[in-house]
């Protein structure tokens, strides 16, 4: 293969260099550049995309967030310092408690602290019940402070002069009204070690007073059919006889918005509460919070209730029951997605078939087209052909497992990620565009890698074509990873609900499926006999393959433009122009080479800085997917509102970097018959844009048993949601609409 497999043509193909010497046409592999960019790609994929500069206060249209501290006695060993994030909501907006209810996500705080300082859990104030249509959430409006205790140990060594405690916070929250906006911010705070920090005493006193008071006596819960019979003792006289609010800390247990009954039997409070038909777990002990309903002097109480009785059977895997909420549920328990395969074996079969179909995706064409040359090169050498096939297959399988392991590790660390997550980072998109530009320039003959590496290294590479075949498998996975082929979606969704070993088996099986056609061909003597012999056509084919690479670059630049705006796309194009100039300058003869190379390096550095200003810290992130009068933007709760009004809903979960999504959008979803059926059935059309990282959409996909796009869902009131195929056809959509 011209890029990743070193080869020596059997015939004497030569060309003249500028110095009139003869150079054999032996393209050298690019795996040095590939390895560097792939390492950077993996590192960048793990970064959360912070769009707010590091400071003490963050102001958005919906909310004002401020990091505060309360250390009236200074900072010293064995002392507790309180810090907290205060959220001031605009009227009508709210954020969420630790159990958000039917939809939403709790606010998340991640601290960076010096050695000897330990952060505790959020001391959550008692939440409010926030009814929204036929749903109910638990959260906060107006102003709320989320306090966190910091324990100072004897290992703490103050820094600076005067000495201080330096704190950094990465916070993320979901703020909702009728629509929801995921937001985040980075904060810093420096607390003097000596003296008093008490300017925020009032909000901290109020927040700590709003914490539920632990009850001394244990409570109990008895399961009676599909209801929980709750019994709480030990409530103080000031609360007895009053109507109480009930907040379970365990999510997805009760029907949050359903009617329920409560009575007082002397000093014992009892309640009968419906169990959710989509219950996510079967706990033996449930932590509970009760609160009086009056806003003034509201009292909250916390207790642990031991559960007795048998939980009703959870919905069977493979069924697609109607979701009480079609919006994402925070902290959803793995394994509760509604339409997962019924067994691991079916998931593995789907992964194998999906991996094979990936070879038909436009994403993978540039690499697979080049692999054709590898067959021709080794047509008379079955052993080399088989080794190349095995090495390529190993690269594919190892890369799928590594990418799957990275995604699972990040999700276990709290990141809301799904398949194709790496292309949600503009830096990764820019890095891949740079890589494919270099590959295209190499294929076009502008430079040979041998010009940039020592001859000893180039000779070593030529003797190890298996390494180059392995790296071509790695590159194929990098290109294919944004795609979700038919049969893959449910298997990938199930992978997130399985133990790590079984989940990685699914990722490995996808790799085996993708590599299988090439592996089978490399071991087929019949194929070798029908391949053309090496010859001059190979150099022509090599140069022709530069165009698919440049086409991939065009696509990546378009994706970056969708993520960061036209300025980001223009900055990337300028950077690629500077890179091309540098590659050209390095290959020049004579004295002009050093001068033009220096100029090119300086220009490239300036263009890289310009790209960073537009990509790393974009000032404004546009909507990546255009919305029209026909298609409205998806938001949590919007599906439920439309269903409540009697309209069926069709949701397109999509992303600019998803080639399959764009194909379906330009073909099936603009088909005149399909649009006519949508209009006839009065179907509301929503688009959920996942181009940039969006934990709310990730959670919504997880509810559907998916973790990648495209996903197409048709909702009808009181019916199970219908999840359509990834490769969408006109007949499939029309058949689903006909059933409404």
What does the alpha-carbon distance between residue 723 and residue 334 come to, in Å, rounded to a whole number? 19
CA 737 to mean position of chain CA atoms = 30
Whether the domain at 72-197 and the domain at 631-738 fall into the same CATH topology? no
Q: Please state, as a whole number, how many other Cβ atoms lie within 10 Å of the Cβ of residue 452.
A: 16
- What is the band of 125 on the pLDDT scale with cuts at 50, 70, 90? very high
Average pLDDT value for residue range 301-322: 67
CA 16 distance to own-chain centroid: 50
Minimum mean pLDDT among 269-273, 445-449, 673-677: which range?
445-449
In CATH, the number for domain 631-738 is 3.40.30.10
Write down the pLDDT at residue 436.
Answer: 79
Residue 505 has pLDDT above 70, yes or no: yes
3-state secondary structure of 671: coil
Element (H or E) spanning 93, and its range? none
pLDDT tens digit sequence for 66-92? 999 888 888 888 778 899 999 999 998
Give the number of residues written for the chain: 740
Mean pLDDT of 396-401: 85
DSSP assignment letter at 449: G
Angle in degrees, 0-180, between the axes of helices 566-586 and 546-564, rounded to the nearest 10: 140
Cα 69 to Cα 164: distance, rounded to the nearest angstrom: 13
**Structure tokens belonging to residue 194:** 């000596």
Alpha-helical (H) ranges within 154-307 are 201-209
* CATH class held by domain 72-197: mainly beta
Residue 391 has pLDDT above 70, yes or no: yes
For the chain, what are the domain ranges?
A: 72-197, 226-308, 631-738
Is the pLDDT higher at 347 or at 623? 347
pLDDT at 651 over 80: yes
- Are the C-beta atoms of 500 and 508 separated by less than 8 Å? no
pLDDT value for 482: 57
pLDDT, averaged across the chain? 74
pLDDT digits (tens, 9 = 90+) for 718-737: 888 888 987 788 999 999 99
Q: What is the pLDDT of residue 600?
A: 76
Strands 268-274 and 261-265, bridge-based pairing: antiparallel
Residue 125's contacts (CB-CB under 8 Å, 6 or more residues apart) are 140, 144, 145, 146, 207, 210, 211, 300
**Dist CA 51 CA 693 (whole Å):** 12
Q: Which position has the token pair 């004497």?
A: 12
What does the pLDDT look like over 564-613, one tens digit per residue?
A: 767 777 878 888 888 888 888 877 777 777 777 777 788 777 777 766 66
- Report, as an integer, the average pLDDT of 674-686: 91
Residue 195 pLDDT > 80? no
324-344 mean pLDDT:
38
**Token digits for 507?**
């990722």
Decide if 443 contacts 543 (C-beta within 8 A): yes
- Asked whether the beta carbons of 175 and 115 are under 8 A apart, the reply is no
Q: How far apart are the first and last CA of the chain?
A: 52
CA dihedral 634, 636, 639, 643 (to 10 degrees): -150
How distant is the alpha carbon of residue 111 from its chain centre?
A: 21
Strand-pairing partners, residue 175, are 181
Hey, which of 117-121, 129-133, 140-144, 512-516 has the most confident mean pLDDT?
140-144
- Out of 3.30.420, 2.60.40, 3.40.50, 1.25.40, which CATH number does the structure's domain 226-308 have? 2.60.40
pTM of the model: 0.43
Cis check: omega of the bond before 612, within 30 degrees of 0 = no
Residue 532: what are its φ and ψ, rounded to 5°? -70, 150
Mean pLDDT along residues 296-317: 78
**DSSP characters over 406-438:** HHHHHHHTT----TTGGGGSHHHHHHHHHHHHH
**Integer-rounded Cα radius of gyration of the chain:** 30
């Amino acid at each position: 293969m011209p890029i990743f497999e070193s080869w020596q043509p059997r015939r004497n193909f030569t060309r003249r260099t500028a110095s009139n010497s003869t150079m054999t046409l032996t393209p050298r592999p690019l795996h040095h550049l590939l390895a560097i960019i792939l390492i950077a790609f993996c590192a960048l994929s793990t970064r959360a995309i912070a769009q707010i500069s590091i400071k003490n206060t963050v102001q958005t249209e919906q909310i004002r967030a401020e990091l505060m501290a309360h250390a009236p006695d200074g900072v010293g060993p064995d002392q507790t310092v309180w810090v907290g994030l205060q959220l001031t909501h605009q009227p009508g907006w709210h954020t969420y408690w630790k159990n958000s209810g039917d939809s939403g996500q709790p606010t998340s705080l991640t601290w960076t602290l010096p050695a000897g300082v330990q952060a505790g859990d959020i001391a959550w104030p008692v939440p409010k019940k926030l009814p929204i249509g036929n749903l109910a959430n638990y959260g906060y409006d107006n102003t709320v402070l989320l306090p966190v205790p910091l324990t100072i140990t004897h290992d703490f060594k103050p820094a600076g002069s005067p000495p201080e405690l330096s704190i950094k916070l990465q916070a993320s929250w979901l703020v909702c009204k009728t629509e929801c906006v995921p937001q985040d911010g980075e904060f810093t705070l420096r607390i003097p070690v000596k003296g008093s920090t008490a300017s925020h005493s009032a909000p901290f006193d109020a927040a700590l007073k709003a914490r539920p008071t632990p009850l001394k006596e244990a409570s109990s819960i008895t399961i009676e059919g599909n209801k929980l019979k709750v019994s709480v003792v030990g409530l103080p006289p000031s609360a007895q006889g009053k109507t109480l609010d009930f907040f379970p800390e365990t999510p997805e247990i009760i029907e949050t918005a359903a009617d329920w009954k409560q009575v007082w039997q002397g000093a014992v409070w009892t309640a009968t509460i419906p169990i959710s038909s989509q219950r996510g777990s079967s706990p033996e002990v449930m932590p509970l919070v009760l609160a009086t309903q009056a806003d003034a002097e509201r009292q909250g109480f916390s207790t642990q209730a031991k559960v007795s009785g048998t939980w009703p059977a959870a919905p069977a895997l493979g069924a697609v029951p109607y979701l009480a909420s079609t919006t994402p549920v925070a902290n959803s328990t793995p394994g509760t997605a509604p339409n997962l395969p019924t067994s691991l074996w079916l998931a593995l079969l789907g992964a194998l078939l999906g991996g094979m179909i990936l070879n038909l995706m436009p994403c993978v064409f540039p690499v697979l087209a080049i692999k054709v040359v590898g067959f021709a090169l080794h047509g008379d050498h079955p052993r080399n052909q088989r080794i190349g096939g095995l090495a390529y297959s190993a690269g594919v399988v190892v890369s799928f497992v590594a990418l799957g392991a990275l995604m699972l590790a990040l999700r276990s660390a709290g990141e809301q990620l799904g398949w194709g997550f790496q292309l949600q980072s503009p830096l990764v998109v820019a890095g891949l565009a740079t890589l494919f530009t270099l590959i295209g320039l190499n294929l076009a003959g502008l430079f040979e890698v041998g010009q940039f590496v020592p001859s000893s290294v180039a000779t070593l590479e030529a003797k190890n074509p298996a390494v180059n075949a392995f790296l071509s498998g790695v590159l194929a996975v990098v290109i294919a990873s944004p795609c979700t082929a038919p049969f893959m979606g449910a298997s990938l969704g199930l992978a997130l609900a399985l133990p790590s070993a079984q989940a990685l088996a699914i990722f490995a099986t996808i790799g085996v499926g993708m590599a299988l056609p090439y592996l089978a061909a490399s071991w087929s003597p019949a194929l070798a006999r029908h391949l053309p012999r090496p010859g001059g056509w190979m150099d022509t084919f090599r140069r022709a393959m530069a165009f698919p690479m440049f086409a991939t670059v065009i696509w990546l630049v378009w994706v970056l433009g969708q993520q960061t705006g036209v300025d980001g796309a223009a900055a990337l194009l300028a950077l690629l122009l500077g890179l091309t100039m540098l590659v050209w300058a390095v290959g020049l003869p004579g004295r002009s080479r050093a001068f033009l190379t220096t100029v090119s390096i300086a220009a490239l550095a300036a263009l890289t800085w310009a790209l960073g200003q537009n990509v790393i810290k974009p000032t404004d992130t546009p909507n990546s997917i255009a919305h029209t009068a026909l298609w409205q933007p998806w938001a949590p709760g919007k599906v439920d509102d439309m269903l409540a009004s009697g309209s069926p809903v069709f949701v397109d979960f999509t992303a600019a970097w998803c080639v399959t999504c764009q194909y379906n959008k330009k073909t099936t979803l603009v088909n005149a018959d399909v649009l006519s059926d949508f209009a006839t059935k009065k179907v509301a059309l929503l688009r959920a844009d996942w181009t940039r990282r969006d934990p709310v959409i990730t959670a919504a996909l997880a509810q559907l048993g998916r973790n990648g796009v495209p996903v197409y869902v048709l909702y009808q009131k009181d019916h199970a949601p219908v999840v359509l195929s990834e490769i969408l056809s006109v007949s499939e959509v029309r058949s689903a609409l006909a059933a409404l």
